[in-house]
Chain A
Amino acid sequence: MERRYLLGNEAIAHACREAGVDFVCGYPGTPSSEVIDTLRAQLERPYYLEWSVNEKVALENALAAAWCGVRALCTMKHVGLNVAADPLMTSAYTGVTGGLVILSADDPFAHSSQNEQDTRCYAHFARVPCLDPASVQEAHDLIPAAFALSEEFGLPVIFRPTTRICHSKGDVALGPVTGSTRKGEFKKDPRQYVVIPAHTRVLHKKLNEKQPAIRRRLVELGLNRYEIRGKTAIIASGIGATYVQELLPDGVSFMKIGAYPIDEEWLGAFVRKHEKVLVIEELAPEVEETVRQVAGLVPVFGKKNGYAPYEGELSAAAVATIMAKAGFIDKTPFAPAEPVQNLPVRPPILCAGCLHRGAFYAIRKVFRDGIYPSDIGCYTLGLQLGVVDTTICMGASITVGSGIAHSGETRDVICTIGDSTFLHTGIQGLMNAVYNGATMTVVILDNRITAMTGHQPNPNTGLTACGVETPAVSIDAICRACGVKFVETVDPYDLTDMVNVLQEAKKRKGVKVVIAKQMCVISARRAGVKRGHYTVDPETCTGCGTCVRFGCPAIEFADEKARINDLCSGCAVCAQLCPVGAIVREGKK
């Protein structure tokens, strides 16, 4: 058996190859993206693979493949499952024949997300099984089990790793990669696949009838298990179970929940053998609520009575504190350790030479008093430049913009949205805004790639996920087809041009679209684009700070003068900003 040091997502990808996955799709989203990135990087790919334009599209694709009898994997981040919720809910009714695993990665502490929602609640809602790995090795081992369960019960299975599984590493024991002999074939069965009321009522009943057997099977498979060690017990799920195992004192029983739905009879029998029970889980009190339903008079400690937090992520230290508070250990073994206070922060920042910074500068210059709805991507960092007033979910800059514009608010509305986000769920908002006569400006920040999640190609890139050339969509043509009359493409490195175009847009009524197009500076560097560095002539520099306020990490300020460090990528925007012309190309004076 081979052992490798792998990222959780790499281990999951390997397990999919071991399970002989046939069909892979998804939409990038931290912390899920590396599963498909790993699968698409394989030299031999005996499976179909795509980056889909959004999660709903992806899930419908994967569901259809599973209807054809092949094994399908569909990946997304937790909030992506909101987008895919529509097919999810009814896919439980239609069921599948080939295994369908929906990987939805949760992000406790919202390291890179807009909320801390819990995918397990969706599984509960849709009445489909959900697997909740506690470690990288377990994430690997549960993937073949997920496909097998899906096929056994004819239901999609949700696989729910969290950031600390996806982006953790460990020495992982791997199995052999297997090839698949399955060939997709659609067997017509309207009673199963056409969910008209007469059919769906029957399907709903069938779905409910499957539940008791699923609950029992998850225990039989050892995915939910316990060890009686004393009169008190800790029940834990996900990575919380790993933290508990590190701290578990002698004489305390331990139940590990790795899959849902939980068998209530089995759970109740365990709980009633104890005098008190503590529940440890991240995010929603999914396990705790079931425990409380069956606990009878046994006291339960958890989120609902204030012993554990609803928010954020757990850690060994956090679990120790909860255990101490609930009386399961005398005191936490970890001494408090406070970080040094008041250090200058170093948050993520738009790269030196990022096209978004120039575009945001031009927007602020033209629409000083504007309202700036924005969206989800690297450009959300425009918050630091004061040009992001709202961000809620994918595609919502244009819809929030038209809502504000129609509310009676009289200031100009200028939305920003990236190319991938526009194609994901932005188009509907644009069509709606034009249709309903909004007056607003939409700036599409077009870097031709899905940059934030690790440079995945999208329909605007001209390449598929596997690197095959494909026609790139025309964002300009899409906007015109939505009915936008004013559509202009500009280079955000050319400030004068971008400012002029925005001023022209400002004068007009209706929806105007400005496409700010320039390669992502990271892609450009990888493609070998060289522009040469810029430098500050200290004799000309007056130390006015205009370039410093631009917020580029290549620009520093010392001894009353600006200077440019070696992060400079040569975009030359700062040279256009400098009121005295002190910023010049290196070697040219």
Chain B
Amino acid sequence: MSGSYDILIVGIGGQGTILASNILGEACLIEGRSVRGAETHGMAQRGGSVESHIRIDGQYGPLITPGQADLLVSFDLLEALRYSHFLKKDGKAVVNRHLVLPTSVFTQKLTPPTEGEIIAALKRHEICILDADQIAIEAGSPLSQNVVMLGAASKWMPLKPETLLESVKRLVPKKTIEINAKAFEMGRVAGGKN
């Protein structure tokens, strides 16, 4: 509709989705493009399901309409499934092979879908699944998993990888620039570059 490239980043409060969205926003600024976004703040962050909307070249509202997202970046398998209806038919998904079971599973004795079931359900879309936690540890810090995810997703983004890398360097804490630059590059490799 609006000609924007719509990315939905989802995960669990505390996983670093907001930094990931800031990195994309900064990359848009570097390339001189307009951008709109929306995210979860406040109490909803306390271990709950969180979402960040980023609309590259967005001119209007900040929210992505369900069924319209070009790219879903999920830090958790279950959250990928929960938000998969946001993807358009030919939308792509980049998903961390990691499943944090919600406490409701244990306290309310619910049956969560298995990893296999989730992946099968996501296969309607072109999907890239990677072990971002492990790659982040190899890059030097488990905290860099959000940057690993962006690296993997970068092949589908309408932003230059070098712009994204520059943006990563600008926004992560100074002491961690080297680790995050490595995390981004390793994420790119895991995502199969393009």
Which residues of A approach B to under 8 Å, CB–CB? Answer: 3-5, 30-31, 33-34, 111-112, 136, 164, 167-171, 239, 242-243, 245-247, 315-317, 333-340, 343-351, 378, 381, 384, 452-454, 548-549, 551-553, 555-557
Chain B contacts of A348 at CB under 8 A? 13, 43-48
Q: Any chain A CB within 8 A of the CB of B22?
A: yes
Is the Cβ of A169 less than 8 Å from the Cβ of B25? yes
A3 to B33 Cα, complex, angstroms: 11
Q: In the complex, what residue of chain B is closest to A352 when comparing beta carbons?
A: B47
A346 and B121 in contact, given A30-B41, A316-B1, A553-B103 (Cβ under 8 angstroms): no
Q: How far is the CA of A345 from the CA of B78 in the complex (A)?
A: 10
**Contact of B155 with A by CB under 8 A:** no
Partner of B47, one of A340, A548, A553: A553
Pick the residue among B25, B28, B38 that contacts A167 (CB under 8 A): B38
Q: Is the CB of B28 within 8 A of A316?
A: no
Query: Could you say which residues of chain B place their CB within 8 Å of the CB of A549?
Result: 107
The 9 closest A-B pairs by CB, nearest first: A337-B67, A5-B25, A30-B42, A348-B48, A169-B37, A337-B66, A246-B60, A168-B62, A346-B102
With an 8 A cutoff between CB atoms, is B104 at the interface?
yes
Chain B, residues 145-156, CB within 8 Å of chain A (1/0): the string is: 000000000000
Contact partner of A349 (CB less than 8 A), chosen from B46, B79, B86, is B46
Q: Tell me which of B21, B65, B102 has the highest count of chain A C-beta atoms within 10 A of its own C-beta.
A: B65
Tell me if B26 and A340 are in contact (CB < 8 A): no
B: contact size bracket: 35 or more
With A112-B43, A164-B63 known as contacts, the answer to whether A344 contacts B104 (CB < 8 A) is: yes
Give the contacting residue for B29; candidates A3, A242, A315, A384; CB below 8 A.
A3
Q: In the complex, how many angstroms separate the beta carbon of B88 from the nearest chain A beta carbon?
A: 9
Contact B29 A171 (CB under 8 A): yes
| Contact across chains for A334 and B68 when beta carbons are under 8 A apart | yes
Q: Report yes or no: A344 in contact with B62, Cβ–Cβ below 8 A.
A: no
Among A315, A348, A349, A381, max chain B CB count under 10 A is at: A348
The contact string, 1 if C-beta is below 8 Å from chain A, for chain B 10-40, is 0011000000011001101100011111111
How far does the alpha carbon of A197 sit from the alpha carbon of B112 in the complex, in Å?
Answer: 67
- With A and B bound together, what is the CA distance between A339 and B10 in angstroms? 14
When the two chains form their complex, are residues B48 and A347 in contact, meaning their CB atoms are under 8 A apart? yes
Known pairs A246-B60, A343-B78, A345-B104; A111 contacts B44 (CB<8 A): yes
B95 → A minimal CB distance (Å): 14
Is the CB–CB distance between A316 and B60 below 8 Å? yes
Q: Decide if B35 touches A315 in the complex (CB within 8 Å).
A: no
CB contacts between A and B, total, < 8 Å: 165
User: B26, A5: Cβ atoms under 8 Å?
Assistant: yes
- B41: which of A31, A333, A335, A346 is its contact (CB, 8 Å)? A31
B21, B43, B60: the one within 8 Å of A30 (CB)? B43
A164-B1 in contact (CB<8A) = no
Residues B47 and A349 in contact, CB atoms below 8 Å apart: yes
- A-contacting residues, B70-128, CB 8 Å: 78-79, 81-86, 101-108, 110-113, 121
Supposing A167-B38, A348-B44 touch, asked if A4 and B29 sit within 8 A by C-beta, the answer is: yes
Q: Is B194 an interface residue (CB 8 A)?
A: no
Contact status of A381 and B25, CB under 8 A, knowing A340-B81, A344-B78: no
Cross-interface CB contact of B62 among A164, A343, A551, A557, cutoff 8 Å: A164
Q: With A and B bound together, what is the CA distance between A59 and B103 in angstroms?
A: 41
Q: Which of A4, A242, A340, A346 has most B Cβ within 10 Å?
A: A346
A555 to B101, CA, bound (A): 10
Contact A112 B107 (CB under 8 A): no
Are the C-beta atoms of B1 and A333 separated by less than 8 Å? yes
Complex interface: chain B residues within 8 A of A350 (CB): 46
Closest beta carbon of chain B to A333's beta carbon, Å: 6
Q: In the assembled complex, which residues on chain A have CB atoms less than 8 Å from the CB atom of B42?
A: 30-31, 33, 111-112, 452-454
A333 to B102, CA, bound (A): 35
Would B44 and A340 count as touching, CB distance under 8 A?
no
Q: Which B residues contact A (CB, under 8 angstroms)?
A: 1-2, 12-13, 21-22, 25-26, 28-29, 33-49, 58-63, 65-68, 78-79, 81-86, 101-108, 110-113, 121
Given the complex, which residues of A lie within 8 Å of B1, measured CB to CB?
A: 246-247, 316, 333
Check A346 against B62 for contact (C-beta < 8 Å). no
- Separation in Å of the A38 CB from the closest CB of chain B? 13
**CA of A381 to CA of B41, assembled, Å:** 16
Residues on B with C-beta less than 8 A from A168 are: 36-38, 62
Q: Which of chain B's residues has its CB closest to A332's CB?
A: B65
Whether A344 contacts B86 by the Cβ 8 Å rule is no
Q: Are A347 and B29 in contact (CB under 8 A)?
A: no
Q: Is the CB of A315 within 8 A of B25?
A: no
A112 in contact with B44 (CB, 8 Å): yes
Q: Are A334 and B22 in contact (CB under 8 A)?
A: no
Considering the chains assembled together, what is the distance between the CA atoms of A339 and B36 in angstroms? 24
- Assess the B61–A242 pair: CB atoms within 8 A: yes
Minimum CB distance partner of A567 in chain B: B47
Knowing that A317-B66, A334-B68 touch, tell me 7 more A-B residue pairs with CB under 8 angstroms.
Answer: A111-B44, A169-B35, A316-B61, A343-B82, A378-B43, A454-B42, A557-B106
Closest partner residue, chain A, to B110 (CB atom) = A344
Given A30-B43, A167-B39, do A243 and B60 touch, yes or no (CB 8 Å)? yes
Nearest-neighbor residue (CB-CB) of B48 within chain A: A348
Q: Which residue of A lies closest to B103 (CB)?
A: A553
Contacts known (A5-B22, A315-B65); A556 close to B78, Cβ less than 8 A: no
Chain B residues contacting A3 (CB-CB under 8 Å) are: 29
Question: Smallest CB–CB gap between A352 and chain B, Å?
Answer: 8
Asked if residues A344 and B112 are in contact (CB atoms below 8 Å), the reply is yes
- CB<8 Å pairs between A and B, sample of 30: A30-B42, A34-B41, A111-B42, A111-B44, A136-B36, A136-B62, A167-B38, A169-B36, A169-B62, A170-B37, A242-B60, A246-B59, A246-B61, A247-B1, A315-B65, A316-B1, A317-B66, A333-B1, A336-B67, A337-B85, A339-B83, A343-B82, A346-B47, A348-B44, A384-B107, A452-B42, A453-B43, A454-B41, A454-B42, A556-B101
